Amino acid sequence: MFRFMPEAASEIAPEVDKINYWILDLSLFFTVVIVGAMIYFAIRYKQKGDAPHETPRIEGNNILEVIWTVVPTIICIFIAYYGIAVYGKMRAVPTDAMEVNVTASSWKWDFEYANGKKTTHEAYIPVDKPVKFLLTSKDVLHSFFVPSMRVKSDAVPGMYTYVTFKPIKTGDYQIFCTEYCGKDHSAMLAKLHVLPQEEFEKWLEDRSVEEAQAAMSPAKLGATLYTQKGCNACHSLDGSRVVGPSFLKIFGRKGKLDDGTEYVADENYIKNSILNPMSQIVEGYVGQMPSFEGQLSDDEIGGIIAFMKTLDGSAPVEEAAPAEEEKVDLSKLSPEERGELLYKSKTCFTCHSLDGTGAAEGKLGPTWKGLYGRKGKFNDGTEYVADDAYITGAIKNPTQNIVEGYNPVMPQLGLTDDEISDVIAFIKAQKE
Ligand code: CUA
């Protein structure tokens, strides 16, 4: 009864489950026996009518006392013994374990392999090989939790902790942050990909993405980031006004901020605009840009500045294609997974959160959390229900019906009908 543990994908998992189920079954057994006896006695010995009812005086029973002291003691020793034994096994790091460095920060997981390969949000390990994730944190307490592997440990700033396990089947497993760490704690997720040995080695040796990035000129890197980080949702390259000022001829531009002070768009001004966007709002614009603090390295900011310097109007700019995504077989994914990919690749995330934050927190669009089926008002006062037809309309004609409290800033995405239904499947999964 109550066998609800998630998939067991590591060597230790069945042992953890065994103890867990013993304790669960024991607890269930004693709950039923004790509460059952209470209820039975309450009914059996209930005072009937007004008849006088004398409670007998009972002095105690030595045999009973011994039984209910000795039996639970033995059970507790038994549980403690197996608990400690399995815990010891769980913490013992095999000498041949592959080490992966994990750095937690608000709100992402970064992984680094022995050969220098780095990833974010995605970890790859070979099947049937012990692995050790060495954990630390850059800012606050986080906690690394892989339910399918039955391992969990805090990631603590200023010290190292670890989890170790041996995966026994290939597949993709969810990694959670399981220590409340601030606004996007619930979105601090990562995927653990357990691959066959050869496939893992191929992945580990493949440095094409890093090499391409390292070989990029700063301006090219900036152009890539422009689409990758979703800057394009609010800043045009052709001089047209979207939500924020256009990037065309931005470098060296002079103007006024909304408090009347004058600015010159030099390197420091641009860097500050990226890290503390609300501290300097250009006159005539509404301040609503999120900070990219911690999301862009100094090199990347330098790249964006270099990219802006190229936008002097001397040559037409081509929008850089987003960095080549890993080739995935879309037909093998569920509609929900394909919708999630679109959420990322079309940079919906710049304006639509998944954690319930919206206009009040400076987001430009309504959150997708609990969106499906939501009822509300448009800014012309008519009511809507967020069903399939509504979402399709919102994607196809984004500026037609605007939800109360928001501005018509969403661009045309040109999605196909199939892509729209994938996005809807993803939205449906974002339950309240
Ligand atoms: Cu990191 Cu919760």
* % pLDDT > 70, the chain: 96
Closest by alpha carbon to 289, among 277, 275, 271, 280? Answer: 277
pLDDT of residue 63: 94
pLDDT of residue 4: 84
Q: Do 177 and 143 meet the contact criterion of CB atoms below 8 Å apart?
A: yes
Q: Which atom of ligand 1 is nearest to the CA of 186?
A: 2
Statement: residue 153 has pLDDT above 50: yes
How many degrees, rounded to 5, is the angle at CA 421 between CA 415 and CA 422? 85
pLDDT band at 225 (very low <50, low <70, confident <90, very high): confident
**CA pair distance 192, 203, nearest whole angstrom:** 14
pLDDT band at 41 (very low <50, low <70, confident <90, very high): very high
Q: Which atom of ligand 1 is nearest to the CA of 182?
A: 2
Residues in the chain: 432
Statement: residue 101 has pLDDT above 60: yes
Among 28-32, 147-151, 304-308, 329-333, where is mean pLDDT lowest? 329-333
pTM of the model: 0.55
Statement: residue 80 has pLDDT above 90: yes
CA-nearest residue for atom 1, ligand 1, is 142
Statement: residue 281 has pLDDT above 60: yes
pLDDT of residue 333: 83
Closest by alpha carbon to 346, among 247, 423, 428? Answer: 423
Highest mean pLDDT among 45-54, 160-169, 222-231: 160-169
Q: Which residue did the predictor score with more confidence, 350 or 248?
A: 248
Name residue 134's beta-bridge partners: 101, 162
**CA pair distance 209, 430, nearest whole angstrom:** 31
Q: Which atom of ligand 1 is nearest to the CA of 155?
A: 1
CA of 352 to the centre of ligand 1 (A): 20
pLDDT band at 64 (very low <50, low <70, confident <90, very high): very high
Closest by alpha carbon to 128, among 170, 173, 167? Answer: 167
Using omega within 30 degrees of 0 as the cis cutoff, is the peptide bond preceding 22 cis?
A: no
Q: Which residues line ligand 1 (CB under 6 A)?
A: 104, 107, 142, 177, 179-181, 185, 188
pLDDT of residue 325: 46
pLDDT of residue 324: 46
Q: Helix 417-429 to helix 388-396 angle, to the nearest 10 degrees?
A: 120
pLDDT of residue 66: 96
pLDDT of residue 322: 46
CA of 296 to the centre of ligand 1 (A): 20
**CA pair distance 357, 183, nearest whole angstrom:** 9
